[in-house]
Amino acid sequence: MFACICKRVRECEIRSLIQDGARTKRHVAQACGAGTSCGMCVRRIGDLIDEETDAQALSQAA
C-alpha cells in the first residue's frame, strides 16, 4: 500500500527506512521524498515511525 501517493512511496519502504535508523519524519523525507509534496501522508509516516519504534523496543526486550 502506498503511504505517499505523490512520491509513490510504499509503507514497506518507509518501514525499512525506519528499521535502518530513520527516526523522524524529516529523516524519512530526506531518504525517499515522502511527505514533501502535498503533506497528506505526514501523519501516516508518523504513525509508521511509532509502530516500528514500538516493535523494535518489544523485540529488544524479549
The residue assigned the cell 523485540 is 59
Per-residue model confidence (pLDDT) at position 19 = 96
Confirm whether pTM is higher than 0.75. Answer: yes
Total Cβ atoms within 10 A of residue 15 = 17
Q: Which three cell numbers stand for residue 37?
A: 509534496
Domain ranges across the chain: 2-61
| E-assigned strand segments in 1-62 | 2-4, 9-10
Domain 2-61 classified CATH 1.10.10.1100? Answer: yes
Evaluate if residue 62 carries a pLDDT over 80. no
